[in-house]
Structure 1
Amino acid sequence: MILSDLRQYLKQQHRVALKDLVNHFNVDADALRGMLGKWISKGNVRRLTPEGNCGTSCCKCDPALTELYEWVEKGN
């Protein structure tokens, strides 16, 4: 996977959880964070602050994988 693949997926989905990126690209979460960091530094992606938990009270979700990222068009 290359950065352009990640860009295209984020543009299509607009907002996506890190867990979904891991599953879609079959890439380690830390590697994806590094790639996302490139887009964040360019101002095209922002990490969203999760509001609460994943929606259940089981506490079994890995909090690191519930991170949300959003594609931002320049000028917005």
Structure 2
Amino acid sequence: MILQQLQIYLRTHHQASLEELAHQFKTDADALRDMLNLLIRKGRVRKLASKQCGGCHSCAPDSLELYEWVNSGSR
């Protein structure tokens, strides 16, 4: 069920950080990463190059890990 919700969320929002997804679905980031990797293998999602911040090292790594919906077809 959450895999389908994850796809709907990304399809609607186009891009999201792992931190945002974990907060949205109240799910562990590692579990979401596994689901995202499945969607990557299916060609529905791609992982974007990590967002760079100012170098202060205070940003949570999960907030810099970005994913994007790429499949314009169904589901």
Return the TM-score normalized by structure 2: 0.84
Unaligned runs of 5+ in 2: none
Aligned to 1:16: 16
- CA distance in structure 2 between the aligned counterparts of 1:26 and 1:51, rounded to whole angstroms: 23
Q: Are the equivalent residues in 2 in contact too, given 1:44–1:73 (CA < 8 A)?
A: yes
Residue aligning to 2:61: 63
Secondary structure in 2 aligned to 1:16?
strand
- Say which SS state the counterpart of residue 35 (structure 2) adopts: helix
Deviations 1:5-52 (A, max 9, x none): 000000000011111001100100000000001100000100000242
The answer to whether the Cα contact below 8 Å between 2:16 and 2:67 also exists between their aligned partners in 1 is yes
TM-align CA RMSD: 1.8
Displacement of 1:65 in angstroms is 3.5
1: CA distance, partners of 2:40 / 2:57? 29
| Alpha-carbon separation, structure 1, partners of 2:46 and 2:22 | 17
Shift of 1:74: 5.0
Deviation of 1:57 (Å): 4.8
